[in-house]
Structure 1
């Protein structure tokens, strides 16, 4: 479990970095769709390269049920990425990173009522604390426009479904160890995702500058996914999302650094009172992690 938790925290760092990269791209090129297309293609190339290193030890049983599972993962991830970038065009990086922590409540509801997994009282308290912390970090007196809230809601739902598909996929692939299974599953998924995204290149303006500027996001996000797949071989999908919700803490620190350096076009400055409240919410997140790991579900 220790390795699973460490991988989850590393995932949080990588995701926070990717959120900043996405904000930079969208500010520069004014196109969330272009970022989605170029980053998926780049991640597809990275995934195909990585797959070469595990191909001999990895096996995916291509049964109809497993193929539907893989298709569900690819489609939910692709749609989730587009919705996320559209949300990123409306919401600054630190707030969006904190708000994606709300995915935990969506995921817990799906596990409890769709997959019929009984989390237990203490685990639900941890989920609610994590949700409260995500909301508290976001509340800065600035309103979120309806369009941003709509894309955020779709992002949460699609990402939650994607995480469940990842957990199920890892359970059906075969390999000598957790590293081979997780890296193989992640590489297979994102290579297919890149292939599926290829036709979309004809619907965006092709530009070497856009391709270059999407590389930072692609590297950070694909690295995060490799770590996420690995962590899900050891811990539950709800618990890993409570851990990964710590990206809100990381993004707040990144946001403070960017605002202090004068990059207010990426991260508007806020008062000390708001930063203090975000610190309190960070402590709540840590408490949520402790509660979940000591619960029956953990």
Structure 2
């Protein structure tokens, strides 16, 4: 339990640092989102291909069903990343990260459309998430509608990708009989990002760069994101998706605190400096978003 909680908190920190790394790449270094996505996934894919032979489960042979789940996971994940990184190029990471808790409202909508009723606790969580999002959107200047649309799009794509993560892992577990906490989940990370690396490789000719500096600037994001994904999948495997999602939502609070630190250090091109009254309201709204996630996922148990 203690290890799982630590991994969950590290996931929240890792997400926050990765968001800052992507904003540094696109804003500070002036490079396009497409270059970060392509080069980042080529780097992560190379690491995963080296690791895959050591992580491959005994008795596992990919089936059409497994490939279908993996393809769905990859497709929605890429869409989510495009939306998220585009929003981070437009505004501070400390404003975007807390809004990702709106995924609970997206999940609620999907559940209703699929005819799955929600509990009263879950509806309370959804209402709190919407209220928190309204405050976060309003404090410090209203976000442009395009940024808001990109964040909502990212939440929707992440929610759909989560369903395929579960399917991909469960198929591999049933096939191999390996129900250990970390074996199959970590293998799944390597399979996902190894596949993404292969997909990204031919795109280097369009969106990649031959300059060493561009690859050097990509490295922080790629390293942080891959390590964060290992921690995330391990958290889900250790604690389950319920508590894992709650711990993951701490990225909003962490991103705001990191934003205060960066603004205080004078990095105003990455994080705008706001008064303590504004920061206090944003922290309160981010905490409310965390509580909303807790109520939603706990109410669905």
Length-normalised TM-score, structure 2: 0.88
- The 5 A counterparts of 1:164-243 are 164-174=163-173, 175=178, 177-206=180-209, 207-234=211-238, 237=241, 240-243=244-247
1:6 deviates by: 3.8
Please say if residues 104 and 293 of structure 2, whose CA atoms lie closer than 8 Å, have aligned partners that are also in contact: no
Q: What is the deviation of 1:110? A: 2.5
The Cα shift of 1:78 comes to: 1.9
- For 1:247, the equivalent position in structure 2 comes to 251
Return the alpha-carbon distance in structure 1 between the equivalents of residues 221 and 86 of structure 2: 15
Once the two structures are superposed, what CA deviation does each residue of 1:111-160 show, in whole Å capped at 9, x if it has no partner? Answer: 4543x555522233234334433443443232322332332232222111
Q: State the superposition RMSD in angstroms.
A: 2.4
Is residue 104–residue 238 contact of structure 1 (8 Å, CA) maintained in 2?
A: no
With over 3 angstroms needed to count, the CA separation of the structure-2 counterparts of 1:155 and 1:42, relative to structure 1, is same
Shift of residue 280, structure 1, vs aligned partner: 2.0
The count of residues paired between Structure 1 and Structure 2 equals 295
Q: Which stretch of structure 1 is more off in the superposition, 8-17 or 124-133?
A: 124-133
- Structure 2 CA distance for aligned equivalents of residues 147 and 288 of structure 1: 24
Within 5 Å, give how 1:87-126 maps onto structure 2. 87-114=87-114, 117-126=116-125
Q: Deviations over 1:170-190 (max 9, x none)?
A: 211133512111100111111
Checking the alignment, whether the CA contact within 8 Å between 2:125 and 2:293 is kept in structure 1 is yes
Look up the SS of the partner of 1:232 in the other structure: helix
**CA distance in structure 2 between the partners assigned to 1:142 and 1:238 by the alignment:** 33
Relative distance call for 1:54 and 1:160 in structure 2 (3 A) is same
| Structure 1 unmatched runs, 5+ | none
Residue 59 and residue 157 in structure 1: after superposition, are their counterparts in 2 closer, same or farther (change >3 A)? Answer: farther
